[in-house]
Amino acid sequence: MKNPTKHLKRLTAVGAVALAAFSLSPAAASALPSGNPAGDGEPGTTIVGGTRAEQGEFPFMVRLSMGCGGALLEKDIVLTAAHCVDGSGSDTSITATGGVVDLEDPAAVTAKSTEVLQAPGYDGQGKDWALIKLDKALDQPTLPIAKDDAYNEGDFTIAGWGADQEGGDQQRYLLKAEVPFVDDATCKSAYPDLVEGEELCAGKLDTGGVDSCQGDSGGPMFRKDDAGEWVQVGIVSWGDGCARPGKPGVYTEVSTFAADIEDAAAQLGG
């Protein structure tokens, strides 16, 4: 188990001190404020060093009411992080908001969760993925997942409504940024407990300054495939603080779990 005071899962939490307390608890999602996806002053912790996304630029993005992000794997199934949910089973407590970059936009569409499927065997280290079944389809494009490691290099795009600085507040507008791939050997030197083969690292090692942060957990890391279409290669998971030099962001390596994710989606009726 990672030290929760050092390696922070990137959930939204109430204030900087609470970030450590919530960092690794699988039940953290249910302990967090759940009713304020619009970000109207509720403390939280988007993308550091990012710029505002354009409306419709990443239409597969959704905001989850427990303080995480996600992407539409199917129109009625959200792919997010395992640490954002509290186990598997029936769950009607989560609201997914999509269709907008401005969470206060009246054009936002919402759906409620009906069931959650957390990665089998998840224990806080590796395997950080989960699916949320929605009570209705959202009329938005979906984000395909990488089936192999062909796209696990290069520059990636990250996006979210989390903190724009370490210890900062949840954002009203979706922010985006680009982060470069960091190889496993280099990342392992920064994080000895990195789970190679299950986790993927990205960030500006020398300078820092660009990263996902608290409130971005569960959101996608993605890039263009050979056909010029977006494909998801990672899921925002954890890191030491946000955007620190020498401390890249750590993401679930989606291609490792692609078959499992597709099987789980089929179980949920996707």
Q: Is 86 one of the catalytic residues? A: no
Q: What angle do CA 225, 250, 145 make, to 5 degrees?
A: 30
- CA-closest candidate to residue 265, choices 111, 133, 128: 133
* Calpha distance 267→230 (Å, rounded): 25
Q: Are residues 113 and 90 in contact, defined by beta-carbon separation less than 8 angstroms?
A: no
Identify the active-site residue in 23, 217, 237, 255.
217
Residue with tokens 């507008």: 173
Q: Are residues 134 and 72 in contact, defined by beta-carbon separation less than 8 angstroms?
A: no
Identify the active-site residue in 7, 23, 83, 255.
83
E-strand ranges in 66-129 read 68-74, 77-80, 89-90, 95-98, 109-118
Q: Is 217 one of the catalytic residues? A: yes
* Calpha distance 194→199 (Å, rounded): 7
Q: If you write DSSP's letter for every residue of 195-216 in order, what string do you get?
A: -BTTEEEES-TTT---B--TT-
* Calpha distance 41→200 (Å, rounded): 33
Q: Is 91 one of the catalytic residues? A: no
Other residues' Cβ atoms within 10 Å of the Cβ of residue 206: 8
For 129, phi then psi, to 5°, come to -145, 155
Identify the active-site residue in 91, 128, 169, 216.
128
* Calpha distance 138→98 (Å, rounded): 8
Q: Which two tokens stand for residue 158?
A: 């990250």
Give the active site residues: 83, 128, 217
